[in-house]
Amino acid sequence: MRTPDPRITLVIPVLNEARNLEVVLPTLPPVHQVIVVDGHSADDSVEVARRCLPEADIVPQTRKGKGNALACGFERVTGDIVVMVDADGSAAPEEIPAFVETLVAGADFAKGTRFAAGGGSDDITLLRRAGNAVLSGLTNLLLRTRFTDLCYGYNAFWADAIPALGLPSSAGTEPRWGDGFEVETLINCRIALAGLKIAEVPSFERDRIYGTSNLDTFRDGLRVLRVIFRESVRSRRNRRRGEAAVSGLDRVVGS
């Protein structure tokens, strides 16, 4: 339910992030629900989450990949607003109120951006920045959007928008399209194609605290590119169906 005083759910995908969770979880603001989705970590991520935040919901992934982790988490949401938070310390918890305020003010989807006044990054490389700019521009051209930071995953949205995402069900163990890092672009595209109101929120990306990222610039960049073209085709197909339906209705009315 959309209310001026929404209940907030944080969804945190985790894969071998025990050391980072020890730092991140104690800094989270008080919220209605924290969902930690564990990708069968080989370290003691689950034990650390239970110790640092006993009230957190610990959800095991059914398959591999960030997309599957988010899908598993979204299915357990009980709050009014969902905030996607990375476990590596790159997402600043103090920015959560800005995302919530943007949604309460009328947006359906609060899109974090590192490339607006007040935003920035300690982590992004020149190669990733250039790739992000190309992918954002292509998406804006094909889907008629205005993203400035397509590939940034710190986002929030009203929970009633979850069906519009059309993410693969968590059921089953066979890999599904949308299970990987491409999920963030998939979410952005689906929100836009559903006609929901998107508002960008300046965000500063911090360096990962410990460990190395699972992101592969070229492999995951190609997966993002595939999402963009797939969703562009889907958009044109839906538009043609809508035009055909209107044309058919006009003929019926005019007969």
Instruction: Give a yes or no: residue 238 inside a domain.
Output: yes
**Alpha carbon 104 to chain centroid distance?**
18
Give the mean model confidence (pLDDT) for residues 46-75.
Answer: 97
Question: Which residues have CB under 8 Å from 134's CB, separation 6+?
Answer: none
Total domains, the chain? 1
- Is pLDDT at 6 greater than 90 in this prediction? yes
More confident call, 30 vs 250: 30
pLDDT per residue as tens digits for the range 71-123: 999 999 999 999 999 999 999 999 999 999 999 999 999 999 999 999 999 98
pLDDT tier, 246 (very low <50, low <70, confident <90, very high otherwise): very low
Q: Given a cut of 90, is residue 241 above it in pLDDT?
A: no
Q: What is the pTM of this model?
A: 0.90
Q: Specify if 1 maps to a domain.
A: no
pLDDT(249) > 50: no
Listed residue (27, 193, 199) closest to 12, CA to CA: 27
Residue 74 belongs to a domain: yes
Answer for the pair 212, 122: CB distance below 8 angstroms, yes or no.
no
Residue 3, in any domain of the structure? no
| CATH number, position 196 | 3.90.550.10
Contacts of 68 (CB under 8 A, 6+ apart): 39, 61, 62, 168, 170, 176, 179
Residue-wise DSSP of 137-173: HHHHHHH----S-TT---EEEEGGGHHHH-PPPS-SS
The whole-chain average pLDDT of the chain stands at 91
Q: What range does the domain containing 195 cover?
A: 8-254
With contact defined as beta carbons under 8 Å apart, do 220 and 182 qualify?
A: yes
Q: Tell me: the pLDDT tens digits for 153-168? A: 999 999 999 999 999 9
